[in-house]
Structures are given as C-alpha cells and as structure tokens.
Structure 1
Amino acid sequence: MNFAKKVSFFLLVLWVETNSFTARLVIALLSAISWFSPLSAIAQTPLSELCPTPVLSRLQRHQVISGETIESIAQQYNLIPQTLIGVNPSLQGGQVQVGQDILIPPFNGIKITVPNGATWQDLSTAYGVRADVLFEINGCVETPKVAFIPGVNWKPGERPSQDNYTGLRGYPLPAIAQVGLTYGWHIEPNTGESFFHGGMDLLAQEGTPVLAADSGNVIYVGQEGNYGFLIIVDHGNGRQTRYGHLSRFNTRIGQSVQMGDVLGSVGTTGRPDILNPHLHFEVRFKSPVGWVAQDPQIHLSQ
C-alpha cells in the first residue's frame, strides 16, 4: 500500500473508531494539506482499493462427500463447527448430505444481520471486537446490512456463564514466561493478512514441563491439526484449558489432575504461529454454541 493510501486508510479508521470533533479536525487539516502535496491522490483513491476484499466475498464452497460430518469438514479448514452452522443455516439440524454445498469462511466467526441504525462502534461494544477490525474486514462499508464478526461464535445474550468464577489458581509453566504472541487479532508479516489467535504463546525451552493451571479431568490427549500434540483439561463449571504444540505427553484421557501436575513438555509440533519453542495456552468457556476462547492473561492468577 503506497503512502497516500496508508494516510487515507488512517483517516478512515480514525473516523470509525472515534467519530469525534478531534477526529474531524485532523481529517480536515490533512485534507487541506493534501491540496498542496502528493497526498492529493487520497481524494482520487476509490475506497474499495483501501480495504481488503470483504470476508463474505471470500467464502469457499465445499461439496460434501460420503463419510463427512460437520465436525470433520470444520477440521479440514481449521474452523469450529459453530462457524459453519452460523454461515450455513441449512446445517442447523447438525447433519450434512452427500453432494450438499457448504460455504466456508476464511476464519472463525458469525454472520449477522445488522440492526437498523447500528454503527461499527455499536457492534464493537456488543461483540467485544475492535470497530476498526470490523470496518476493515467487512469492506469499509459505512452502513452495513450484514456483517461478519470474527473470532466469535456467540450472539449477545449467549455469553458463557462465569458465575462465582475467580480465575485459574496456577500457571501452566514452572516460572512466569515471556509472551511471544498475545490473544487477539494480529497481522501476518509476510502476507499482510489478519488472523485471530485464540490463546497466548508462552516462550520456553523445548522440554520444559507443562503444568495443569488448575485441578480437573483430562478429556483429550492427542494430535490435533495446527495444535500439534494437544492436551485439554476440563475444570468443571463450563471451563477448560488447552495446552498445544507439546513435544510429549505425561498424562492420559480420564486422568484426574491437580494444579501443578505435569501434563507434558513444551515442543514445536503442529503449525505454530511463531518459530521459537513455546506453549500455546488457551482458556475456554462453554456457551450455547460451543467453547468460546477468552484472553488467558485475565484468568491467570500470576
């Protein structure tokens, strides 16, 4: 993206995020300057060239073959089943038919009909996703009728219950670790594409023990797509933790664990988002539409 386009896009984001007097003043000043500089190209740049193609225009089609299920199809595209159901209303019954065409979005989220008069800031408040992110991935449309909300698989009023929840009692490594990649939206440096990271990557030497962050029951031990070697611990009351990219396992399905018990070791299996050895750690809460990932940082006691 050239300089003029970057400045123009900055103005758009500023307007979307604040729509304040200060924002309007900055826009007016920069617009005036643009008459006497190469920035005059801003006024001539179509809005469509300043934004990526909208997510809902990037849907793939998948034709169901014998033996496939919603779960297996979702796994092929590194999605959760609730994302496919949300984009394909015909899947509400939970079944697929051989030969059926299914729309596949590029990442997890839900498709919504935007209430009349609602702004990107209104949607940001309702779903907890930044207004500028919503604006950009939906094609920079000022008054949308439909929108894709990324990284979300619930609707307002369906948030996971956290009654009497006080956070995790422990930490998933023997010592506090540097965070290599935080929870949330990031830009892939090589491609410039946005992607959602559903956990936090804690940097550690390969082979470092991975510990249960709280007491619970081990419900999954195995290899799972991008996660590589993965362990899932159910802590009851609709919450679970996930430990990915492990090099080995020290537990088994059905085992009861206490806070601090060794589950496995740090590794580099699967498809990590960063190159350094690390633990991919997630905290999820059960909702009516599946297990919703939340920022682990706010749940760790240390």
Structure 2
Amino acid sequence: MSFRYCSVLFCGLAGILSLSTFPNSAWAQSKQRNCPEPALERFVRHQVAPEESLKAIAQSYNVTPETIIRMNPAIRNGKVTVGKEIIIPPYDGIVVKVGRGQTLKQIAAQHSIRADALFEVNGCQENPEVVFVPQLKKSQNSTQAASTEPNVLETISNSNKLNGYPLAENTAVAFPYGWQINPDNGEVFFHSGIDLSAQPGTSVQAIGEGIVVLAQEQGSYGNLVIINHSNGMQSRYAHLEDIKISAGEEVNKGDLIGTVGSTGTPTLKKPHLHFEIRSSSSLGWVAKDPWEYLK
C-alpha cells in the first residue's frame, strides 16, 4: 500500500525533520520525463502483528532495523508495539531537508552518492524541499562482507564493460552528460545522456550485443530503442526518426537499430542522437556517463 505524507515527523542524527506531501504537479512532470516514482511516494504503512519483532519486520522489507528506527522516532530500545503502525521506506536511507540555496549535487557530495542517482530516486524533481538519500547496507557481523558488498548505486558487475559507438563515425558532442543549463529556459537540470551531432537519417547502431527490450515511441524520448546487455548494463537511443528493430530481438555490436531524427522533445534543436548508458541497481536503471563507454 502506497503511503503519502501529510505531517509526519522524523527524528535522526540530523535532528527533527518535518515532511510534507510530495506535490502532485511535480510528480506529474517527473512522469512526463520518464522518471521513476519518487522514493518518498513509495513508503508503506506496516501494522505490527503479535510476536513480530523489529528485526523480522526489517528482514521482510529488506531494510535494516536502523532505517526503520530513523523513520519512526516513537520506537524505543528497538522494541515495536503490537497494533501500532510504522512507516517503512522502499530501501535503506535517510530523509534530508534541502536547505535554502542548496542543490541536489551538494547533498549528493555530502552523502557520497551519485548525483544522478539521487536525482532519479527523488522523481527527477529540480527543486525539492525534502529528499530521500539512499544508503549502502553494510553487514554488522563481518567487516569483510561490508567491504565486498556491491554498492546499490553501482552496476551488478563492473566486468566486461561495453565498448562501442552508436554511429558509424565519431562525431562532435552537441550536449554533454551531467548537470547542465537548459538552452531554452536557462534552468539547471540533469542530462542523463550525451547528445551526438548527426544529420537526420544517419544510421544508428547497437554498441554491443544484447536483447532489445523496448522499440517504440516513449514520451519525451520520442522514438526510443533500449537494449539490455550482459552484466546489468543498458543502452538507450532516443529521438530516432525510424526504428529498424523490434522488442525481443537479439542484436550484435554494429547492427542497425534506427536512424537519427528529432521525435519527442529534444533538449537541442539541432540534429543529434541522444544516447544513454545505464546500469542495473536496487534503485532501478541508474544513468552513467556514456563517454566512458564510447570507443
């Protein structure tokens, strides 16, 4: 059951933080940008059953007891009360109030988290008042296990990285990856991919072998092809004029998947291919810098 905040107080090491309801208009805009549902919209209420312990509840939701305690300051000495409702986040983390003039990039740096992941976890809001900051779950029984546990913001495996190029020839970068200024309105936003200059009709090719999981019109992306590769990696090719492949097909590196176009709502007006690389994590498909994979 989805949980929306009205006036819940959270106590933690940072003090007392008041949360307000996530604005419906902001979430509607996020959905239009193909963003995941914000973590703050995915909290659930759990009614404590007889003989149910905090540890058992935490295990059932795959979070740590410490996370539940942070979200429910009424819990004392690690004991839950039968019949009481507690709120549980979708994964381990903390709730942080965004200070006046503070940016998501600054918050991400403070908590050693990828800025793009924090942006997506919170529904791609550009000016949130409150954010959920995910945290790496560490084993309390083994420091070695904690050091080897994969970070939730990293890909399932870092081996066998993709190495390819989505166009037949190298071209100029029309708009880079990361925090950028929108050329139309001057607003700061996170650009989850890289725009490569190319003329309409230019052939677009797969950068590696994989399986096509989407090949259709997709909102602001326009005509979009998504390919899942091995080791939890994914490549995306957006604003295509034509799609030459179908979902479910297997492709090899260099196979034709479409042509450059201007469908959807491109950030730039001049012709280009919007290309993304994402990695699978417990937070969903997290955007990575495509430049590291363009060879």
TM range (shorter): 0.5 to 0.7
The yes-or-no answer on 1:159 pairing with 2:153 is: yes
> Aligned match of 2:32 in 62, 77, 102?
77
Aligned-partner Cα distance in 2 for 1:200–1:235: 19
Residue 267 of structure 1 corresponds to 261
SS of residue matched to 2:24: strand
Greater helix proportion: 1
Query: Identity percentage over the alignment?
Result: 37
> Aligned match of 1:148 in 108, 111, 131?
131
> Aligned match of 1:289 in 280, 283, 289?
283
Q: Tell me if the contact between 1:112 and 1:147 (Cα under 8 Å) persists in the aligned partners.
A: no
Residue 23 of structure 2 corresponds to 60
Cα offset for 1:155?
A: 3.6
Aligned-partner Cα distance in 2 for 1:189–1:169: 30
TM-score (norm 2): 0.59
Q: Tell me if the contact between 2:96 and 2:130 (Cα under 8 Å) persists in the aligned partners.
A: yes
Q: Tell me if the contact between 1:233 and 1:241 (Cα under 8 Å) persists in the aligned partners.
A: yes
How many positions carry a matched residue from both structures?
Answer: 202
Residue 214 of structure 1 corresponds to 208
Describe how 1:46-125 pairs up with structure 2 within 5 A: 60-61=23-24, 76-83=31-38, 85-90=39-44, 112-114=94-96, 123-124=108-109
Residue 127 of structure 1 corresponds to 113
Residue 186 of structure 1 corresponds to 180
Query: Could you give the per-residue CA deviations for residues 185-228 of structure 1, whole angstroms, max 9, x where no partner exists?
Result: 11224433211110000010100000000011111110001100
TM-score (norm 1): 0.58
Residue 196 of structure 1 corresponds to 190
Cα offset for 1:75?
A: 6.8
Residue 242 of structure 1 corresponds to 236
Aligned-partner Cα distance in 2 for 1:183–1:112: 27
Cα offset for 1:258?
A: 0.5
Cα offset for 1:91?
A: 9.0
Query: Could you give the per-residue CA deviations for residues 235-271 of structure 1, whole angstroms, max 9, x where no partner exists?
Result: 1221110000000011111111110000000000000
For structure 2, list consecutive stretches of 5 or more residues without a partner in the other structure. Answer: 1-18, 47-60, 62-92, 98-104, 120-125, 137-150
Q: Tell me if the contact between 1:82 and 1:290 (Cα under 8 Å) persists in the aligned partners.
A: no
Query: Could you give the per-residue CA deviations for residues 25-64 of structure 1, whole angstroms, max 9, x where no partner exists?
Result: xxxxxxxxxxxxxxxxxxxxxxxxxxxxxxx9995226xx
For structure 1, list consecutive stretches of 5 or more residues without a partner in the other structure. Answer: 1-55, 63-69, 94-110, 140-145
Q: 1:193 to 1:290 in 2, by over 3 A?
A: same
Cα offset for 1:77?
A: 3.4
Aligned-partner Cα distance in 1 for 2:265–2:45: 29
SS of residue matched to 2:109: helix
> Aligned match of 1:233 in 205, 215, 227?
227
